[in-house]
Amino acid sequence: MAATSYSTLLTLTTPTQPEHNTKQPCKNMKEVKQLQAQITKKGLSNRPMSYSKVISSCADIATPESLEYAKKAYELFERDERSRVSLYMLNSLIRGYCAAGLVDEAILTYAQIVGKGVTPDQYTVRFVLSGCAKADLFLEGIQLHGSVLKLGLEEDLSIQNCLIHMYAVCGEIDFAKKLFDEMSERDVVSWTSLICGCARRDRPKEAVSLFFEMVDAGIYPNSVTLVGAISACAKLRDLDLGEKVSSYISKTGLTVNTFLANALVDMYMKCGAKDRAKQLFGERVDKNLESYNALLSNYVRQGMEREALATLVEMLQRGQQPDRVTMISVAKAISQLGDFAFGRQFHGYVMRNGLDDWHTVGNAIIDMYSSCGKQELACRVFDRMSTKSVVSWNCLITGFAKNGNVDLALKLFNEMPETDVVTWNTMIGALVRGSLFDDAIELFKVMQNEGVKADKVTMMSIASACGYLGDLDLAKWIYHCIENQGIHRDLKLNRALADMFSRCGDTESAMQVFDKVKNIDVSSWTRVIEILNEIPKRQAV
């Protein structure tokens, strides 16, 4: 009866179809149905091999529709075979779920395997680990690591690599590094997973160091390794190091594919070699969306707004459709230019193409109109947004504050359903810029009472307010707040604190702040000299 059910399923979903070449993989559900029709026609529909072929084909397509069909096919197989479990078929299902981003379904299927007393193999574990990495599921990943140990698969190189990749992608670099250090054997995948993880998680120096360690160990990089190492050099803004790393492209005989070219363009731009970036970009015939986004975002970052807008025009002329990353970069370029006319055209394009459904793009447009001094239009965009995140509110408040309307900014601030540290920083900064120093200090105290953790941006604004008030007791309290809350004191914050103490008449404390600074820039030295010049004047008084 179960076999008939499966045959019926195939017959119902596969009316007369042209034959599919069974040696070729199915590209879509139409071809899967053609394959099923052939299986039914030959009377093979109740054979395990037939089920495997259908389920594997559906997993390759990896759409919700194909995977739902595969799941039903597997349920029919279990009925046919009287609850017999096929690990191969379940592995195919897990693989398909992970490829489609349905990681919860993959984990549920894994749990079913274990629940039925079937021992997962290395393929099961690898597929689920890749899913955990894709969905940033660290807790599930670490539980799976425990299963790896129980199954005795901890020495399997491919599984070790999957674990390193999972930990690195989830931002747990120390876990990944510990596992990497304990490996008895490493291949290019092991090194690449850790290098790319460090590069992504703001540990670029470690990424580059690992790259050269790998080369010294006699393991040559692949294109993915090089993309990771080059992106690390871009974050370090170190052109010489970037050149040294990229020299391995020719040394290893690798072709500069689109991903490598994009990484190189990004590195050249961030390291100030704009002409080389433009030359490389211009030479590429295989420009994709990421290529344009890399160039465009770097133009915006470096204040080359007109070049950014020209890149957008070229992109559209070539038929390349922008995404939300493109739109946000373009909105930022217009904001920096304050070009209202271009901004209106851009907003029209966004609306005509249905791109305003992305709330991140809506936020960027609010900021764009605010920067152009068109706060009323910014409010209209905000009012029309179906989803208003904290960021949306922050953009609107920032706009009012930027355009000098502190009262309306404060009114909005008090109406917000939820706030974050950026909201508080925006409001405190607006009060300081409006010379409402006492109000800024009072708002900071409210922030502290509500348990919102301040950061260095908060403290720079508060130090500035205190300096203008000239209140030494308040200055000492602010300094202790920073120390007690463990807020990192970078050069800018130290300079603000020194300036605060100096304005409050405590030049000794101001100099003590500078004594703890390791790398003082020119403007900081200038401020030190000014403070030293103030000492005799204060002593004379």
The values of phi and psi at residue 495, to 5°, are -65, -40
Question: What is the rounded radius of gyration, in angstroms, for the C-alpha atoms of the chain?
Answer: 30
From CA 489, how far away is CA 481, in angstroms rounded?
12
Residue count (the chain): 541
What pLDDT is attached to residue 132? 95
Sign of the Cα torsion 120, 123, 124, 129 reads: positive
Structure tokens, 291: 């290529």
Cα atoms found within 13 Å of the Cα of residue 520, Cβ hemisphere only:
17
What pLDDT is attached to residue 523? 57
What pLDDT is attached to residue 51? 77
What pLDDT is attached to residue 11? 36
What pLDDT is attached to residue 18? 41
**Side chain identity at residue 207, one-letter code:** A
Give burial (CB, 10 Å; 0-12/13-18/19+) of 85. Answer: middle
Q: Which of 286, 309, 285 is nearest to 297 (CA)?
A: 309
From CA 504, how far away is CA 138, in angstroms rounded?
49
Whether 38 and 22 have beta carbons less than 8 Å apart is answered as yes
Q: Which of 366, 368, 406, 411 is nearest to 388 (CA)?
A: 366
Reported as a single tens digit per residue, the pLDDT across 111-152 is 999 998 999 999 999 999 999 999 999 999 999 999 999 999
Structure tokens, 423: 């909201």
Domain ranges across the chain: 1-84, 303-379
Positions in the chain short of pLDDT 50: 1-22, 535-541
| Angstrom distances, CA of residue 191 to CA of 41, 210, 252, 254, 257 | 50, 7, 16, 18, 20
Place of tokens 């941006």: 457
What pLDDT is attached to residue 532? 53
From CA 128, how far away is CA 130, in angstroms rounded?
5
**Burial annotation 209-225 (CB, 10 A radius, 16+ → b, else e):** ebbeebbeeebebebbb
From CA 350, how far away is CA 340, in angstroms rounded?
15
Q: What is the DSSP letter of 355?
A: G
Angle, CA 438 vertex, CA 434 and CA 441 arms, to 5°: 100
Whether 80 and 46 have beta carbons less than 8 Å apart is answered as yes
Structure tokens, 386: 């179906």
From CA 216, how far away is CA 461, in angstroms rounded?
48
Which residues have a Cβ under 8 Å from the Cβ of 475 and sit 6 or more positions away?
463, 466, 467, 500, 501, 504, 506, 509
What pLDDT is attached to residue 520? 57
What pLDDT is attached to residue 7? 39
Which residues have a Cβ under 8 Å from the Cβ of 521 and sit 6 or more positions away?
491
Q: What is the DSSP letter of 434?
A: T
**Burial annotation 93-107 (CB, 10 A radius, 16+ → b, else e):** bbbbbbbbebbebbb
DSSP readout, 485-521?
A: TT----HHHHHHHHHHHHHTT-HHHHHHHHHT-SS--
Whether 178 and 160 have beta carbons less than 8 Å apart is answered as no
Cα atoms found within 13 Å of the Cα of residue 147, Cβ hemisphere only:
22
Q: Map residue 451 onto helix, strand or coil.
A: coil
Whether 484 and 453 have beta carbons less than 8 Å apart is answered as no
- Single pTM value for the model: 0.76
**Side chain identity at residue 43, one-letter code:** G
> From the CB of residue 370, how many other CB atoms can be counted at a distance below 10 Å?
24
Structure tokens, 120: 């997962």
| Angstrom distances, CA of residue 88 to CA of 25, 142, 430 | 17, 24, 62
Helix H, strand E, coil C: the string for 250-319 is: HHCCCCCCHHHHHHHHHHHHHCCCHHHHHHHHHHCCCCCHHHHHHHHHHHHHCCCHHHHHHHHHHHHHCC
